[in-house]
Structure 1
Amino acid sequence: MSQLSIVYVWDADYPWDVRTEKVCLALTAAGHRVTIVARNRKWQPEREQLAEGRVHRMPAWKLAGPALDGALGFPAFFSPRWSRLIWNAVRESGADLIIVRDLPLCPTAIKAARKFGIPVALDMAENYPALMRDRKLGSRNATIDFFARNPRLTERVERYCVDRVDWTFTVVEESSVRLVAEGANPQKMSVVSNTPPRARAANSAQKSVAPGSCTVAYLGLLEVARGIGELIDALGILRAEHGGAFRAIVIGGGRDADLFTARARAAGLLDTTIAFLGLLPHDDALAALSAADIGVIPHHATELWNSTIPNKLFDYMAAGLPVISSDTIPCARIIRETQCGVIFHSGDARSMADAIARASAPSELSRMSAAGRSAVRERYNWEHDTATLLRSIQTFAARK
């Protein structure tokens, strides 16, 4: 493939985002020139050269002050500020194509692509309409959410975008199936998952557990729909039935973090059985996983989690952690296929506790640990997904 100039539109500050970095590093390693368009709430330099590409940040409106400047930089498809930023990046880089990450700025990227006569791809990491519905479960929505995060409006934007982009990248097969069922062209779509590099599984240790001592890890956002409340309840059941044999570390932050801390405290589990480690840098979070014995994905089986895949599934597998997951369709499919974990009934703390206890048996834990690492080495790795990414770009770039 000839060298291309590619603009990758990311709707937040950069660095850092794991998928943005992986995709852009893969494109750069393949010989392409990458420009990362990003927000600039931290008032960083407008241009910065990184290994994964040249960052083209939104100019700061310092006279407006941080709060107003941040509000006016909100990633909305109707924002003239974002339109100007993307157009300038395309013009300055001599872009051959645009890849826009997720839905909020996709209409803006489509408009820019049409103006400059270049193709545009949507990198769809989320089922955005379903994500907006899940966000309402906690009932802590601001007035702006009605306009900026309205599920019905988001559905219309998604349909508009998928019909008009030249290619759509999804992160799991179930996401592609959903879009095709809604009328999308399967010939303009491919799956590029958020998998880890093969070397991470090759370098991780085979897991074993001492009888009477098992650490369960959760890595990710702390939100009601992600099932952290049921995880806390499951740890309470395990403590009542097995004493201090089980403990948990929760790595991450989120809008419902205080709710879960209070719930664990009220149950008498805070710090003794469950430790909330907060947000950690990516490498530190992965290091914390290596000290655990089991990884858990307690997400509710909502429309969102039945059509997307959490990064943590592959992170756990690469670290050699048996995966305890609710019966969301993509996770359950991969875990059953690879035999790397145990499935429990979504929203059922008793079922989760039983699954954790089963996976903690030394023979089961060792078998599942080996199965997960093997699956990452052989199939669920970034090298495999990079090949799909590059083939897809070659396909849709050649159509123009």
Structure 2
Amino acid sequence: MNILLVYKEDYPWDVRVEKIALSLISRGHDVTIVARNRQCSKTTETVNGIEIVRLPALFKPDGLLNKLLNLPVWFNPFWIWTLRSALRGKPGALIIVRDLPLVKTALLVARGARAKIMLDMAEVYPYMYESGRQFSKGTNFESMIKSPALAARYEAKVLPKIDHTLVMIEESRDRLLQMGLSPQRVSIVSNTPPLDKFSGNTHQHQGRKLRLVYVGFLTKLRGLDLLIEAAYEYVKLGNEPSSLKIDIVGKGAEREHLIALVRDLKLEESVTIHGWLDHQRVDELMAQANVGALTYRVCPHWNHTIPNKIFDYMLAGLPVLATEVTPINRIINETKSGLVCRDLDIRDIAEKLQTLRCPELRSTLGNNGVNAVRAKYNWANDEQRLHAAVNSIAP
């Protein structure tokens, strides 16, 4: 089958898009990723064996005009033209659209090409926009185009027209079933890792010094300020600053605020904000860590998706320190792979840090996580559900 993966960001790189593409190629499908082009990369090339087709490169990289050209709205003529061109000569193709904004574009283009449409719902956009408004400061333009109400109306109109929808987690699936979608048209394909991601190496827990790691975007939704404030509380409880090391890796709107918070609380010995690092350096920090951090703020957005980091931490043998986000809480309680803290409770996070100083506890929780990923939460299992979903709508 000819399959087009529509991705509204620049590619490379996205771990989930790549996993899906390579899995489909391994089954003999011809896969093309249609992607944004804000960096003015080549409009066509092959990356890791995957054909990439990008929007035109007409203006300065990341300039205002180029950002407008690449805006992921369904009526953008550049998206319509690029997707239609990529579909030419491929009647009966399958279009897999990553996330909501470009679904209507795919539906428009599919009419004349007899193509099937699958939505990969990594995020529930009405909830994501709602949570973003609650915790982040956006421009007036962003507030206008990222309206929760508009996203909900758009979603309600397009979902019944889609042939199949992939969701990340049970909570997201249940939401769609409550909206009236047929269970046969919804599949859970989660964001799990391949079992060989860390070459079979898992952490061996020794000593009482804590080394936490967080890798991802630095936004208020991620609750990294809560983790830093909990580190301050941990020291106030009588623990030496040298007994705790937190490595925060990533980029985002909160980075400067987090750096200032570390400085104001005089936590430079305990907390390092690294910014963006390459994969090799991230792997080194993961290998040095003995706890994985997910102190997210509880909100409807996080309650209907799942970060791939939880499974990475588990596979690496790191106990997970998390807040009571619904799916994360459920998985940790099911697998006994970490500790869950009360939402926004700095003292509770600090006390859980103290508890995790015990190497025997960390070892038990870490081993439980490894076993759970090997048995259930791995890409080999989710890959099978992906192929079953594709086969269910194949001509």
Instruction: Please tell me the TM-score bracket, short chain as reference.
Output: over 0.9
Provide Cα deviations, 1:41-96, integer angstroms capped at 9, x if missing partner: 11111111123521011111138994312222111112111111111111155561
Cα distance in 1 between the residues matched to 2:377 and 2:205: 23
Q: CA RMSD in A?
A: 1.7
Q: Secondary structure at the residue paired with 1:203?
A: coil
Per the alignment, residue 144 of structure 2 pairs with 147
Per the alignment, residue 259 of structure 2 pairs with 261
Cα distance in 1 between the residues matched to 2:49 and 2:22: 4
Q: Secondary structure at the residue paired with 2:269?
A: coil
Aligned residues of 1:137 and 1:225 also touching (Cα < 8 A): no
What's the offset of the Cα at 1:292? Answer: 0.5
Per the alignment, residue 333 of structure 2 pairs with 336
Per the alignment, residue 207 of structure 2 pairs with 210
Residue 326 of structure 2 is aligned to residue 323 of structure 1: no
Moved more, 131-140 or 149-158: 131-140
Per the alignment, residue 59 of structure 2 pairs with 62
What's the offset of the Cα at 1:157? Answer: 1.5
Per the alignment, residue 351 of structure 1 pairs with 348
Per the alignment, residue 247 of structure 2 pairs with 249
Distance 1:88 1:283, change over 3 A: farther
What's the offset of the Cα at 1:147? Answer: 2.5
Cα distance in 2 between the residues matched to 1:173 and 1:63: 42
Q: Secondary structure at the residue paired with 2:88?
A: helix
Per the alignment, residue 37 of structure 2 pairs with 40
Aligned residues of 1:97 and 1:113 also touching (Cα < 8 A): no
Cα distance in 2 between the residues matched to 1:298 and 1:236: 15
Distance 1:384 1:320, change over 3 A: same
Cα distance in 2 between the residues matched to 1:206 and 1:46: 42
Cα distance in 2 between the residues matched to 1:362 and 1:62: 55
Alignment counterpart, residue 72 of structure 2, candidates 59, 71, 75:
75
Cα distance in 2 between the residues matched to 1:346 and 1:65: 37
Aligned residues of 2:40 and 2:60 also touching (Cα < 8 A): no
Aligned residues of 1:37 and 1:56 also touching (Cα < 8 A): yes
Give the counterpart letter for 1:115 in structure 2.
Answer: G
Q: Which 5+ residue runs of structure 2 have no aligned equivalent?
A: none
Aligned residues of 1:75 and 1:82 also touching (Cα < 8 A): yes
Alignment counterpart, residue 235 of structure 1, candidates 225, 231, 234:
231
Give the counterpart letter for 1:351 in structure 2.
Answer: D
Alignment counterpart, residue 274 of structure 1, candidates 263, 268, 271:
271
Cα distance in 1 between the residues matched to 2:280 and 2:189: 22
Alignment counterpart, residue 366 of structure 1, candidates 363, 367, 381:
363
Provide Cα deviations, 1:17-47, integer angstroms capped at 9, x if missing partner: 1111111011111111101001111111111
Aligned residues of 1:205 and 1:319 also touching (Cα < 8 A): yes
Per the alignment, residue 10 of structure 2 pairs with 13
Moved more, 59-68 or 19-28: 59-68
Q: Secondary structure at the residue paired with 1:6?
A: strand
Aligned residues of 2:59 and 2:66 also touching (Cα < 8 A): yes
Give the counterpart letter for 1:48 in structure 2.
Answer: E
Aligned residues of 1:109 and 1:120 also touching (Cα < 8 A): yes
Cα distance in 2 between the residues matched to 1:52 and 1:171: 26
Distance 1:194 1:63, change over 3 A: closer
Aligned residues of 1:49 and 1:55 also touching (Cα < 8 A): yes
Per the alignment, residue 284 of structure 1 pairs with 281
Provide Cα deviations, 1:276-322, integer angstroms capped at 9, x if missing partner: 11122344323321210101111111111111111110111111100
Cα distance in 2 between the residues matched to 1:306 and 1:283: 31
Distance 1:283 1:188, change over 3 A: farther
Give the counterpart letter for 1:249 in structure 2.
Answer: D
Q: Secondary structure at the residue paired with 2:18?
A: helix
Q: How does 1:88-99 map to 2 (within 5 A)?
A: 88-93=85-90, 96-99=93-96
Q: Secondary structure at the residue paired with 2:57?
A: coil
Aligned residues of 2:213 and 2:286 also touching (Cα < 8 A): yes
Give the counterpart letter for 2:246 in structure 1.
Answer: A
Moved more, 183-192 or 64-73: 64-73
Aligned residues of 1:217 and 1:292 also touching (Cα < 8 A): yes
Provide Cα deviations, 1:178-234, integer angstroms capped at 9, x if missing partner: 1111222221010111111112366122331312x1111112111112111110111
Residue 101 of structure 2 is aligned to residue 113 of structure 1: no
TM-score (norm 1): 0.94
Q: Secondary structure at the residue paired with 2:111?
A: helix
Per the alignment, residue 303 of structure 2 pairs with 306
Distance 1:172 1:283, change over 3 A: farther
